[in-house]
């Protein structure tokens, strides 16, 4: 498949029928079994390799390149099961798209639209539940919760959030933006499923809780940070405080969102206001530590155009303007049986277009 050539080789964890979990890299429509290389690559999770640090990441990559250049042990993707590629320690989700934040304020707070006073001074985020992070393809059960005063039941406004996640390898605290690449191992795609009616009732004054803690899906492939080309970040005004400078690299990823196989949106990651390096610096600025396997996500990726938004809340204006899918049906929010797929492409460090895989899920009652 296009986008999974030699300049990509993302890491994942797979198993064959009745077999143990092993680490592999994706090459076109096959998996290269890396267990033959031994060491950290013979584990059943990426955590040991991620914890080993940049020197070992580089050595592992060289060994992988050498293996792929010979006659690697290829296994067709159709013959394997893909698993969560790393053991998730903690999960933090940010809110770093200015376009998304403005859209949400206009939809959910029409009486007081606009950014909160602190929004352009710090990367706003919330702490999620690592136990409900699941691999792409896992069915998503419609959550229940309080929808209004005296009302409890299944959400009627189930939504998605198309995001990019960053996976921590080396632990640390008070991490400078300049040390971002020494701690972050790679990138995954994230769908932070959200129950908007539960969220609207519960989120003031403390923010998201049960509206988002029921499920977060991630892609099965971790693209190493070194495989991605970087771009200059957006200009930030006002200038952030010193611990958030320099802002660190931006990444020119283009996401694509499909609803029941109908393309509905193409969010541009380069439009994000806060960078991943700033998110990590802020996350650890109070002395909090990160551990191997920590996942922090960008927050919903939304651009300025209607077809560049990363949530259906924005796409359908809270259900008031439903979208028409390829089968002729209209949707405001997700119905049982609906399937969402988020994919992405990026420029590799070598200048080629690569794929970051995809994250998908089907809603069940």
pLDDT tens-digit series, residues 185-221: 999 999 999 999 999 999 888 888 999 999 999 999 9
In a domain? residue 154: yes
Cis peptide before 246 (omega within 30 of 0): yes
End-of-domain residue from the set 83, 112, 137: 83
Asked whether residue 4 is domain-assigned, the answer is no
Q: Are residues 98 and 186 in the same domain?
A: yes
Query: What's the rounded mean pLDDT across residues 306-335?
Result: 97
Same domain, 227 and 121: yes
Query: Cα 163 to chain center, whole Å?
Result: 4
Q: Give 117's contacts (C-beta < 8 A, 6+ positions apart).
A: none
- CA gap 189, 77 in Å, rounded: 19
Residue 359 lies in a domain: yes
The first and second tokens of residue 310, run together, are: 């990363």
Any domain includes 5: no
Structurally, how many domains does the chain consist of? Answer: 2
Per-residue pLDDT tens digits for 223-264: 999 999 999 999 999 999 999 999 999 999 999 999 999 999
147, 229 contact by CB (below 8 A): no
Q: Does a structural domain hold residue 136?
A: yes
When comparing pLDDT for 73 and 132, which is higher? Answer: 132
Model pLDDT, residue 109: 84
Q: Is residue 159's pLDDT more than 90?
A: yes
- Decide if pLDDT at 24 tops 70: yes
Of 100, 121, 183, 282, which residue is the catalytic one?
A: 100
Q: Verify that 301 and 356 share a domain, yes or no.
A: yes
> How many other C-beta atoms can be found within 10 angstroms of the C-beta atom of residue 332?
19
Calculate what percentage of the chain has a pLDDT beyond 90.
95
Q: Tokens for 115?
A: 């950014």
Beta-strand relationship, 194-195 and 216-218: unpaired
Residue 6 lies in a domain: no
Q: How many residues does the chain have?
A: 365
The tens digit of pLDDT for each residue in 119-131 reads 999 999 999 999 9
**Token pair for residue 305?**
């155009």
Query: Across-strand partners of 40?
Result: none
Are the CB atoms for 347 and 125 separated by under 8 Å?
no
Q: Are strands 81-83 and 74-76 parallel, antiparallel or unpaired?
A: unpaired
- pLDDT of 204: 80
230/276 same-domain check? yes
Q: What is the residue range of 269's domain?
A: 91-364
DSSP bridge pairs for 295: 91, 167
Helix ranges restricted to H, 139-255: 180-183, 196-202
- pLDDT, residue 1, reads 55
Tens digit of each residue's pLDDT (9 = 90 or more) over 101-120: 999 999 988 888 899 999 99
Residue 2 lies in a domain: no
For residues 187 and 59, membership in a common domain is answered with no
Q: Evaluate whether 136 touches 220 at the Cβ level (below 8 Å).
A: yes
100 tagged catalytic: yes
Residues 305 and 246 in one domain: yes
CATH of the domain at 336: 3.90.850.10
- Whether residues 110 and 79 fall in one domain: no
- Domain boundary pick from 29, 51, 83: 83
Give the CA radius of gyration of the chain. 20
pLDDT score, position 206:
83
Shared-domain flag, residues 110 and 148: yes
Mode of pairing for the β-strands spanning 339-347 and 353-364: antiparallel
Please state the rounded mean pLDDT for residues 300-306.
Answer: 97
Per the confidence metrics, is the pTM higher than 0.85?
yes
Q: Do 213 and 71 belong to one domain?
A: no
> Which of 52, 83, 114 marks a domain boundary?
83
**Averaged pLDDT of the chain:** 96
Torsional sign, CA 311, 317, 320, 326:
negative
Identify whether residues 95 and 79 lie together within a single domain.
Answer: no
pLDDT of 3 > 80? The answer is yes
Residues 73 and 107 in one domain: no
Residue 15 sits in a domain whose CATH number is 2.30.30.230
Tokens 């376009």 label which residue?
Answer: 99
* Per-residue model confidence (pLDDT) at position 67: 97
Helix (H) or strand (E) holding 195: strand 194-195
Q: Cα separation of 32 and 42, whole Å?
A: 13
- Residues of 73-92 as b/e, b for ≥16 C-beta within 10 angstroms? eebebeebebbbbbebbbbb
CA distance 290 to 293: 9
Q: Are 231 and 191 in contact (CB under 8 A)?
A: no
Angle at 309 between CA 139 and CA 220, to 5 degrees: 35
Cβ-proximal residues to 257 (8 Å cutoff; 6+ apart), any chain: 160, 162, 263, 264, 265, 266, 267, 310, 340, 341, 342
Q: How far apart are CA 212 and CA 209, in angstroms?
A: 6
Pair 318, 186 in one domain: yes
Q: Which of 238, 234, 253, 244 is nearest to 178 (CA)?
A: 244
Both structure tokens of 113: 């639209």
Residue 315 lies in a domain: yes
């Amino acid at each position: 498949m296009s986008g999974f050539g030699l300049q990509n080789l993302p890491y994942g964890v797979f198993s064959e029928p009745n077999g143990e979990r092993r680490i592999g890299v994706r090459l076109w429509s096959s998996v290269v079994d890396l267990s033959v290389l031994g060491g950290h690559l013979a584990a059943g999770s990426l955590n040991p390799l991620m914890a080993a640090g940049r020197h070992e990441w580089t050595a592992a990559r060289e060994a992988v390149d050498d293996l792929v250049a010979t006659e690697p042990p290829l296994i067709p993707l159709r013959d394997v099961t893909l698993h969560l590629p790393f053991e998730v320690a903690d999960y933090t989700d940010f809110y770093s798209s200015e376009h998304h934040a403005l859209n949400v304020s206009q939809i959910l707070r029409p009486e007081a639209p606009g950014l909160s006073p602190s929004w352009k001074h710090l990367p706003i985020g919330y702490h999620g539940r690592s136990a409900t992070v699941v691999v792409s393809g896992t069915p998503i059960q419609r959550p229940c919760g309080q929808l209004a005063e005296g009302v409890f039941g299944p959400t009627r406004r189930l939504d998605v959030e198309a995001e990019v996640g960053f996976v921590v390898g080396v632990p640390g605290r008070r991490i400078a933006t300049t040390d971002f690449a020494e701690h972050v191992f790679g990138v995954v795609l994230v769908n932070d499923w959200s129950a908007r009616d539960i969220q609207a009732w519960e989120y003031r004054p403390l923010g998201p809780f049960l509206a988002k803690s029921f499920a977060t899906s991630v892609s099965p492939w971790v693209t190493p940070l070194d495989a991605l080309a970087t771009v200059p970040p957006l200009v930030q005004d006002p200038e952030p405080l010193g611990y958030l400078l320099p802002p660190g690299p931006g990444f020119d990823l283009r996401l694509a969102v499909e609803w029941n196989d109908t393309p509905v949106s193409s969010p541009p990651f380069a439009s994000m206001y806060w960078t991943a390096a700033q998110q990590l610096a802020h996350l650890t600025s109070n002395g909090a530590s990160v551990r191997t396997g920590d996942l922090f996500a960008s927050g919903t990726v939304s651009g300025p155009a209607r077809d560049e938004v990363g949530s259906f809340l924005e796409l359908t204006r809270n259900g008031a303007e439903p979208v028409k899918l390829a089968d002729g049906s209209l949707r405001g929010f997700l119905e049982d049986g609906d399937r969402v797929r988020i994919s992405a492409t990026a420029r590799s460090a070598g200048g080629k277009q690569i794929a970051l895989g995809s994250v998908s899920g089907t809603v069940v009652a």
